[in-house]
Structure 1
């Protein structure tokens, strides 16, 4: 089921501004071996596939699939994101006994906190983790992890692809821009709410964000006065 069904033609200037936000949010850092991979749940099953592939390539010996139902999937699915992710990983060949499922979280902060609690309850001593999320969530997932669980080291990865080829049957380019704008706004406001560490934001990136807000791409902007959802 697609998140929205519109197929509005996006103007080149809008695409350019969205591309600037995409480039900022996607960190493109090199991989390194870690103690576990944390596949952070979402509507995008490509994240599950990428996490499983990294597991099969030997980047970590343990895969944690984290996610209940979040702001996008709660209207689309009845099954927890983590359970969908774990099923994909098993189908791709990841051994059942190398997968843990955390299926109660509903936001990025809970992904990290509940995963930490799960690993501790299993007696897993973790010194490093590879966070796997959507491309435009790399920066925000890392900023959240450094705030919630700062004692360990992190790497971040996401499925390969560009802003232009990311849209598929589940998310249109128009909806993608709305989502990216909302996630970028959280980069700005969540540090002062204690949800993330502060990020430097170049003026070019702020200008692109403000232009997209001016154009009305505000569907997922958070109300900072009532922000309780990470």
Structure 2
């Protein structure tokens, strides 16, 4: 696989696929009290949220997300605002949508969405987290830590890593982002941001190998 800057070897691609599958929780989507769609640089999350709404999986939803350095040019008016507009285009009624336009990280996505729902008289016991595939595990762990009263399920479009790269481009950047998310899965429990989760040794080895190969632009610095 080749992107603008790097040639990705077959071994690196296998490592990336292993991490991709680890990030996915493989939950079976089923009816929930509410959905929370996490803002990001992928409008496909809004599109999949609309699909799940039309499948009857939830009666109300929150689009959450402001801007970040990686989304400001793509969604200049904020992730949640643009996601709502796409959902409306796809037939989701405006009456079921709440917009949380300030969150700048996953913890804020969950905390601010919880407050917004409460302000609107919605106190769910079950939540569907709709996000990019490689954000599922971190979204789940964050919700379990910050909102222990709800039962979260994760949902993302059913794509292989190869198909996701075809749709979103730049394989190297996608791998960087997956590596960064895995670092957060491992690091954030120590900081009180998420619950601890088992990371198999093969996944850790894949992470170490990709970091050593400088797929590291999305790592947090200690």
Rounded Cα–Cα distance in structure 2 between residues aligned with 1:86 and 1:76: 15
Rounded Cα–Cα distance in structure 2 between residues aligned with 1:109 and 1:70: 14
Q: Which residue of 2 aligns with 1:119?
A: 117
Aligned-pair distance for 1:171? 3.7
Aligned-pair distance for 1:27? 1.2
The answer as to whether partners of 1:71 and 1:106 remain within 8 angstroms in 2 is no
The answer as to whether partners of 1:52 and 1:89 remain within 8 angstroms in 2 is yes
Rounded Cα–Cα distance in structure 2 between residues aligned with 1:11 and 1:210: 15
Q: Which residue of 1 aligns with 2:58?
A: 60
Q: Which residue of 1 aligns with 2:160?
A: 162
The SS at the match of 1:51 is helix
Q: Which residue of 1 aligns with 2:30?
A: 32
Aligned-pair distance for 1:165? 1.1
1:97-136 maps to which residues of 2 (within 5 A)? 97-136=95-134
Residue by residue over 1:29-61, the C-alpha shift from the partner in whole angstroms, topping out at 9 and shown as x without a partner, is: 111210111110000000100011101110000
- TM (normalized to structure 2)? 0.95
Rounded Cα–Cα distance in structure 1 between residues aligned with 2:26 and 2:112: 26
Instruction: Compute the RMSD of aligned alpha carbons.
Output: 1.3
Aligned-pair distance for 1:108? 0.5
Rounded Cα–Cα distance in structure 2 between residues aligned with 1:70 and 1:149: 24
Residue by residue over 1:170-198, the C-alpha shift from the partner in whole angstroms, topping out at 9 and shown as x without a partner, is: 44101001111011000111001011100
The answer as to whether partners of 1:82 and 1:102 remain within 8 angstroms in 2 is yes
Match of 1:90 among 65, 88, 91: 88
The answer as to whether partners of 2:75 and 2:82 remain within 8 angstroms in 1 is no
- TM (normalized to structure 1)? 0.92
Residue by residue over 1:94-134, the C-alpha shift from the partner in whole angstroms, topping out at 9 and shown as x without a partner, is: 11101000010011010000000101111112111100000
Rounded Cα–Cα distance in structure 2 between residues aligned with 1:119 and 1:36: 9
How many residues align structurally? Answer: 220
Rounded Cα–Cα distance in structure 2 between residues aligned with 1:22 and 1:203: 15
Rounded Cα–Cα distance in structure 2 between residues aligned with 1:45 and 1:18: 22
Aligned-pair distance for 1:74? 3.0
Q: Which runs of 5+ in 2 are unaligned?
A: none
Q: Which runs of 5+ in 1 are unaligned?
A: 225-230
The answer on 1:50 being equivalent to 2:48 is: yes
